[in-house]
Amino acid sequence: MASFEKLLDGIYRLKVPFESLYTSVFLIETKEEAILFDFATTVFDAENIIIPALRELGKSPNFLVASHTHGDHIGGLERLHKEFPKASVLMYDEAYAKEHKEIEILTLQNGQYIIPGIKAINIPGHSNSCCVLLDERTNTILTGDAVQLFGIDRFGLGISDINKYISSIDILRKLGAENLVASHEFAPLGALSYGKKATEDYLDCALDCLKKAQVFVLDRIKKGYNKEEILREYNNQGLPTISLRHINMLSLSEN
């Protein structure tokens, strides 16, 4: 049975299989409260992995907080809400909240404290409604998918808005966090950075990866390659793969 592993004081991670990878469910606990941050992909995940792992720890979350509403983060929400009906459900995605009236969903304000010491920050770029949690006790940011590096597997460069993404990385840099915890093993640095320097490097790497991808695409466009050729060459590097959508996005970006 999958169990929560302790990452830092008050921060636990449960790895839940997702395609050939894993997606993370986090438990953030204080003396009085427990926040569940993300809910994996399916009802099966909630029922057979998350709920048993919470039982094993003897925890009932008071808050269910979504990092964003992509399938591998939100899929188990309904089942978890049934299991923990008194827990408040919080997210930034107003559209999702309007479409899912069966659950009472509260929309987060940017900078809102969920409980003392645990702050929610809206960090767009991957999706517009990404929520990063800052745990002020250990000065740790839980970034979900907001910081992509080169992405994961077939989900390379999971960026929907390059300009917002760049501004968001700057916001995260200015927090001066000690540690960073992401939801997946993003290439090339993975899911965790411990220590201020490693965390600065992780965030620098996010911009560096984007810059490398931009240069890769723009250079080849200058040389007269067509987009299919660029895509093929990019996807032959052994990095997480991208699609024509990314090539179009990068070809329109400023170098």
Binding site for Fe ion (CB under 5 A): 72, 145
* Shortest distance in whole angstroms from residue 40 CB to Fe ion: 10
Residues in the chain: 255
Nearer to Fe ion, 72 or 178 (CB): 72
**DSSP of 158-170:** --S-HHHHHHHHH
Nearer to Fe ion, 29 or 72 (CB): 72
* Shortest distance in whole angstroms from residue 152 CB to Fe ion: 8
* Shortest distance in whole angstroms from residue 222 CB to Fe ion: 33
Are 115 and 63 within 8 A, CB to CB? yes
Nearer to Fe ion, 33 or 185 (CB): 185
* Shortest distance in whole angstroms from residue 184 CB to Fe ion: 6
* Shortest distance in whole angstroms from residue 74 CB to Fe ion: 10
**Rounded Cα distance, 24 and 38, in Å:** 7
Nearer to Fe ion, 45 or 145 (CB): 145
Alpha helices in the chain (DSSP H): 43-45, 51-57, 71-74, 77-83, 94-99, 162-175, 196-222, 227-234, 244-251
Nearer to Fe ion, 24 or 122 (CB): 24
Buried b (16+ CB within 10 A) or exposed e, 186-204: bbebebbbeeeeebeebbe
